[in-house]
Structure 1
Amino acid sequence: MDPKFIELSGGFVPMEMVLKGAFELICDENKSGSCLWISNRRGLEYWGTPLEEGKYKISRRKSPDAVPLNIQMPQNFEKIIVHTLSHNFRSATSVVWAPLRLPLKPDDVLLKIIYAGVNASDLRTVFQWNNKDIVSRLPFDAGFEAVGIIAAIGDSVKHLKVGTPAAIMTYGSYAEFTLVASKHILPVARPDPEVVAMLTSGLTASIALEKAAQMESGKVVLVTAAAGGTGQFAVQLAKLAGNKVVATCGGKDKAKLLKDLEVDRVIDYKTENIKTVLKAEFPKGVDIIYESVGGEMFDLCLNALATYGQLVVIGMISQYQEEHGWKPRNYTGLCEKLLAKSQTVAGFFLVQYDHLWQHHLDKLVRLYNSGKLKVAVDPKPFLGVQSVPNGVDYLHSGESVGKVVVCIDPKLSKLGKIVRA
């Protein structure tokens, strides 16, 4: 072969690069069916990437079929509003009756909520003492994620139908009904609590591990608070990508859940010392840390991070209930630590990745439907809007296992079974 042609085409690809690509295809089940391009210029690149698919692929995605039902439109409905800023969700909020205003604006959608998810960030929302913008908006609607059925649509909404199961990730989810712009509607196959778990919790894990952690295969991944809403997704996605997973939790029930999810090493901090275990069993450190606890746990994780390691902060639940609100902490010597080992600490806030929500939600649903992903919803029942504060308290009690979900409308909770049939 002409050497000039070889040079113009980028040269021969090293065998090490070919072997690395083959290993990734074998170990990462998410890459199943993908085509791997290997070149000296661009390295390893999978076809199709979301960017490339956007250039060449015609989307044929259909909205889920509408569910035949008769939703009565009341004159008023219950919802939770934040009326003052406090570290205590119960004292910061109240249940009020709001008028259901019809007809809708042309681009609006009215969603009848069936299930709403409880998140640690609910407390963060109600105690932002120094945020003047938040103070000026009082009172405002509470709750950030829900699934339900589209009850009405505006005249200009053509791509959605009344009766379609849908999810939302906008404020106002702790309510019997909520009004949102059609662009915020995420069509789903069924309005189940498992789908609620895939929203804030599942999407945070899926997108953060891909974008912030830049997760590959063959790494050691540590997940803190791993038996919670988002931790359960992080451990499974890390395993599916071909990594060794270490998970922390507190209590036998949580440890059992993580073992059932095939976590390689479960550290129950009620029976073992996390620092001692990590130092003894992972002396070189861990490559990726998915951290949601904050405080002393963050310090511990930073000290356990390997050279070139990535620590992704997705929350700090231990600091949300402090009496005087969420106070910033000083980390003396942080820059020196990161510099010494070429480490990275990255923050991740889901709302800044809304352009990826539908893609990653579809991915999680596919994994769930194929049996590769399990979704744990805490069995403790919370029924009706009035029970939301109880759900928030329960989440922060440390007793919950899996995602805490409130059934806003028990009468319509059977719809998930209808859609599945």
Structure 2
Amino acid sequence: MRISTVTMFDQSVSAMNRQQGDFMKVGQQIASGRRVVNPSDDPQAASRAVGVSQAKAVTQQFADARVSARNTLSQAESVLNSVSDAITSAKTLLVQASSDTLNDADRQSVASELRGIYETLIGQANATDGNGRYLFGGYQDSSAPFVRNGTGVTYVGDDNARAQRIDASREMPVSDNGARIFNSVASGAGYLTEAGKLDANGVIAGGNGGSVTFSGPQVLDNSDPNHGRAFRVDFTSDTVTHTYTVKMQDDSGAWVDTVPALNDEAYDPAGQTIEVGGLRLELQGTPEDGDGVRFATADEMNHDLFKSLEKALNVLENPAATPAEKAELRNTFRTSMNELDNSLDNVLTVRASMGARLNELDVVDAVSGNRMTNYEQTLSDLVDLDYSEAIAEYSLRQVGLQAAQKAFVDVKGLSLFNYL
């Protein structure tokens, strides 16, 4: 068969181009550190690598979300730490003000300090994060959740807790609304007692006109069938005799007789003990007609932290000269201190919940870190280059290219004229 010179040149050039292409491909792999530079290098590996890269990017987005969640929770937890310290300081001041050795001027001084704590708590309730969003307003985080009005401080946020997705299967509340923190009591809070004029619905409508003070109630038997209900003590009084009637609130909210009934019982101003619903309430002092005492579980009584402080400030900033005013002072202190105890317990409960969520973020971070390591290893197995194998291949392709070039030179030099 006759082979033309052109055919030999074409075949030699094609061989050199093929060897040069293989050589450059290996060189590109070494330069990039990747075995799969183009999808055509390994379509199956390239397709799997795209899926792994997307999963890795999603995992990184959740990691960024956890950073934001941790920052918000840390700021909120720090604020609650300050709130718990402020409540503790307020209670210390009330204990100090309860001393009979203090006069009106001394109580005015205590009131000034307590007023400062009150203002501090309002500021902490309206704390913001680093982005200017209010921490405790729920989803209404663009305006202050607690505002002043003619009756005190009112919560105007919503009852939701801002949540953030920190992983594919976990959406975490990153803050708690102000109503849960400042206007609630922890589950299991005990009874509270309040003295004053009671209206038909058993609501305190004013201060006592007499000098009745209370202590308790103490729990005697929490298995009593009426334990957990609200009770009220209504006084009927004239200049000589004093009687009391005890009512309890049924499931419909109506005030009914206790079992056994305590109606128009004789009252001893020197000291009267009332046992009802597995509770013991101790009373002392002379009542006026229409005075009363109400005691119920904490979630049925006042559980607004700001109102508790406002009641204490009101009696501290006003003189207590008459027996009725002194009785109101003592009763208000007892009620306010119990309410502050419940508020402190509630704040500590919410703070513990935030701490648990911060710990959960650490756990999710650890799991996510292991997942990212697995993704990176899988991605490396799919597309990364084995340098030892690549260098050996590079040397082999280099030799092949040099051989093709040498063969072309030798073939090009062949001519019949050399033998004539």
Same-fold status (TM-score > 0.5):
no
The structure with more helix, counted as a fraction of residues? 2
TM-score band, normalised by the shorter chain? under 0.3
Q: TM-score, normalised by structure 2?
A: 0.22
Greater C-alpha radius of gyration: 2
